[in-house]
Structure 1
Amino acid sequence: METVVDATIPTDQFVLEETIERVPDVEFEFVRFAINDSACPVPFLWGSTSQPDRLDAALQNDSSTERVSCLSWDDGRGLYSIDWTERAACLIDGFDETGGSVLDVRGTSDRWMVQILFPDRSTASEAFQAWCDDGINPSLSRVSNLSCRSDNMRGLSATQHSTIAEAFQRNYYNVPRGTTLAELATDLEVSHQALSERLRRGHSHLVERMLSESTPAVERRP
């Protein structure tokens, strides 16, 4: 049965520790669904801060990064393209190679927060042990079954839920992916654009629900 794990990781056990120390008000958000079959793990990252120039400099000089480009900046929030160092890439890959699919990764001044969807609790338990063996000691803040709760859709419509479940079972969220968006669209008998929009809305609902459960007074961006 599908299991969603919410966990937190100390900043000194993951990437961008130096940047977070230098820019204490920064908040990071990995752009998970921009990944295709690139060899570079999670190449895009949102960074929010009141000190954009300081953030740019900190990212450029962080020991986790090899190359950093700011693609856009608006209203205190910038989109960055990052080439990670080998060590940082291994840390990030560690979450992609756990048998689950990473739904969300966010960083603040004192911790990283991750949400991962696993096919079952046994796989989630094995992943937790693997993290500990690799020197990462996450604290589990929430472990829940996706389909055995009164609110089991987590804000999703039945169509969104079934589509995401099918994509997950077909390893669409793996890196590299086990199937393409075009192949999924053909099998589900919908257009490429319709499937893309359905997944995007479903992902947005999942992240919004997670944030509303873990962070008070979170407002959705327009």
Structure 2
Amino acid sequence: MATVMKFTSPAAEFPLGTVFENLPGVTVELERLIPHDTLIIPYFWVRGAGDEDVEAAFESHAGVTEIRLVDSVDGEYLMRAGWDREYVGVLSALVATNLVLLSGVGTSDGWQFEVRGESREEISEFRAYCQDKDIPIDITAVHALLPVRGEGYELTDSQREALLAAYERGYFDSPREASLEEVAADLGITQQSLSSRLRRGHRRLIAATLAGS
């Protein structure tokens, strides 16, 4: 059965985490992880960078082959990073054990990851890989991933909670009955975290319904 695991890692242990030395107030959210012949290319968002030169803040990283700005929207920056497959870290561990990255959010306080495996055995392989390679992780939760009201919906608990809270508060109504800030406050999370959960939840629902029709 598909299994989801949540874990944390120190800010400096993840290659992109060195940005917090230059911009300690930013939040970095991984968007996609794409296998490639020679590179792992994650797209990620940078928030809270102000008007600084975001690319310059990612100047030097062990194992990184490129960092470039892809787009900017309302003060948020979409960037792409690539580094050698031989670099040993969280992302190489995910690729080596075939886990799917569901979310990865980093601040100067550390990184929070959520990943999915097809079975508990794959999760165990990931843990063993990290132990063998001395990759510091702290597992905070492991649970089976069950469909929500239909085959293949595969929402995580946090995504389902966010979508339901936004729906019940009238966030999706026109005009809106509640703002993103109000729904986030109800859940006790930041607006950025709520926005991420809603976006990823929408993506999964569309993939399981409209895209599959």
Secondary structure of 1:140's counterpart equals strand
1:129 aligns with 2:79: no
Q: How do residues 136-215 of structure 1 correspond to structure 2 at under 5 angstroms?
A: 136-147=135-146, 153=148, 157-161=149-153, 206=156, 209=159
Deviation digits for residues 85-106 of structure 1 (CA, Å, limit 9, x no counterpart): 5664765222222242222222
Cα distance per residue 1:172-207 (max 9 Å; x no partner) = xxxxxxxxxxxxxxxxxxxxxxxxxxxxxxxxx549
Q: 1:13 and 1:2 mapped to 2: Cα distance?
A: 27
Whether the 8 Å CA contact 2:130–2:136 is kept in 1: the answer is: yes
Unaligned runs of at least 5 residues, structure 2: 163-186, 200-213
Query: Taking structure 1 as reference, are residues 22 and 64 closer, same or farther at Cα in structure 2, changes over 3 Å only?
Result: farther
Q: Share of identical aligned residues, percent?
A: 21
The 3-state SS of whatever aligns with 2:59 is: helix
Q: Distance in 1 between matches of 2:161 and 2:111?
A: 14
Give the whole-Å Cα distance in 1 for the aligned partners of 2:106 and 2:54: 14
For residues 138 and 210 of structure 1, the distance between their equivalents in structure 2, rounded to whole angstroms, comes to 26
Q: List per-residue Cα deviations over 1:3-38 (Å, max 9, x = no partner).
A: 1100001122221232122111111122226x3656
The CA RMSD over aligned residues, in Å, is: 3.0
CA distance in 1, matches of 2:98, 2:121: 10
Q: Normalising to structure 1: TM-score of the pair?
A: 0.64
Q: Comparing both structures, which one devotes a greater share of its residues to helix?
A: 1
So what's the TM-score if we normalise by structure 2? 0.66
Contact 2:42 / 2:82 at 8 angstroms: preserved in 1?
A: yes
Contact kept? 2:104, 2:111, Cα under 8 Å: yes
Taking the TM superposition and a 5 Å limit, the aligned residue runs for 1:43-122 are: 43-84=42-83, 88=87, 91-122=90-121
- What secondary structure is seen at the aligned counterpart in 1 of 2:97? coil
Aligned equivalents of 1:159 and 1:14: distance in 2?
35
- Name segments (4+ residues, structure 1) moved above 6 Å: none
Give unmatched runs, 5+ long, in structure 1: 165-204
1: distance between equivalents of 2:64 and 2:161? 27
